[in-house]
Structure 1
Amino acid sequence: MKLLLIEDDASMQAALQRALSRRGMEISACTDGRLALAQWTAVQPDVVVLDLSLPGLDGLQVLAQARRQGLSTPVLILTARGTVGDRIIGLNSGADDYLPKPFDLDELEARLHALSRRRVKASMESTAHAYMAGGLRYEKESGAIYHQGLVLELTPRELALLQALIVKPGHAVSKERLFELVFPGEAEVQYEAVEVVVYRLRKKLAGTGVTLVTLRGLGYLLKVDA
């Protein structure tokens, strides 16, 4: 299990790193709320342990920003703020579990494993209803397309075009069919408008592991990079 520990108390952080590492976990640590999101994105942990009293940015602010950015990693709040009100605020902000200090290490480990198992199960269920291509994942139920766990920022027309291509990577879709999907019911728009959407989308796909390819006379396809 990869664990991101966001905790500013040096002694607590060191103790948890030692104890959880001995139990087979791979630990990354962060002490500043302002740096937490960047490290969260870089590490891509299985579970995040988050303290609320952080310098730079409060733990609840870190959590709220992470959820807005599409970071869905399970979060266990570990804090001295142990009132019922604090727990409700934390859970309503997007946390998955809450453990007040002081705590039992065995209970912490059990809760972390439970969150990790829940994440794996959710991932398997999500994959069953998702399409993958390169570094992209298209969740058909929500309609969103993700890259490295973050929602890909696309216009509605770019999204419609990419959705049509990602369900069959490597297979050409005609310009006419794409026009119907991207510009539904817009008879006054010319077919060439699809090319404008393709041009803009192609630039946004740079670095995602896929390339939008033009096939003269056939249409367009999504090619997974080698």
Structure 2
Amino acid sequence: MRHLSRMTAPHWLALYAGLILAWAAVWAASVPSNWGAALRDLCLTPAAQVGLPGLVVMWLIMSAAMMLPTALPAFATHDDIADTQGTGGGARLVAGYGVIWIGFAVIAAGVQMLAARAGVAESVWLAAALLILAGGYQFSAIKEACLSKCRQPLTFFMQHWDEGPWRMGLRLGATCLGCCWALMALGLIGGTMSLGFMALATLLMTLEKLTRGTLVPSAIGLACLTGAGYLIGGTL
């Protein structure tokens, strides 16, 4: 009963609503219908014409849709510990986590705007460079360290519990960002608000966190590097 009552807590209801609304927005922007016409038109408009605020909104939707599913086990683990200690703080944890990804959305939107204004947004070389960056990062020590923490939320919270939920939320968000930013950045070439890209990326990032070992991260890295080689080979 404790688990059921926790799932109706305000921060959990907000998480459910955020997930549903984010994926509904992505679906509406991808499927021809009157419901998502305005959002779909926004997504199809060149980035330079959309403007920074519009791009930030799209990256916020993408971040919520793709990252919240991967963070749900960590949020649940925090509440398990809080239940045993008779404390709360789940809302502050989620808020801290969200602040980090809001910052990422602003930075990603700014990079996309700069690329559009420089006329390189559709460049094959930019796409290849991003794939090489994402592929190489999969084998980096930073990626491994961040992924290790994401895979062990219980250990993470026990190490930082004294910091309080707000700071732990910030730290969890930063760790999650360190794990996934390079794959998220592929949205610059995979398509902003692309249903196919987002579904695949969400699946891969979730698998990374739910599995052990280096098989999944290495496979993703090799796939990115292979894609980069294909693009470069096609231009030569």
TM-score, scaled to structure 2: 0.25
Q: Which has the higher strand share?
A: 1
Larger radius of gyration: 1
TM-score, scaled to structure 1: 0.26
Relative contact order (alpha carbons < 8 A, sep ≥ 6): 1 or 2 greater?
2
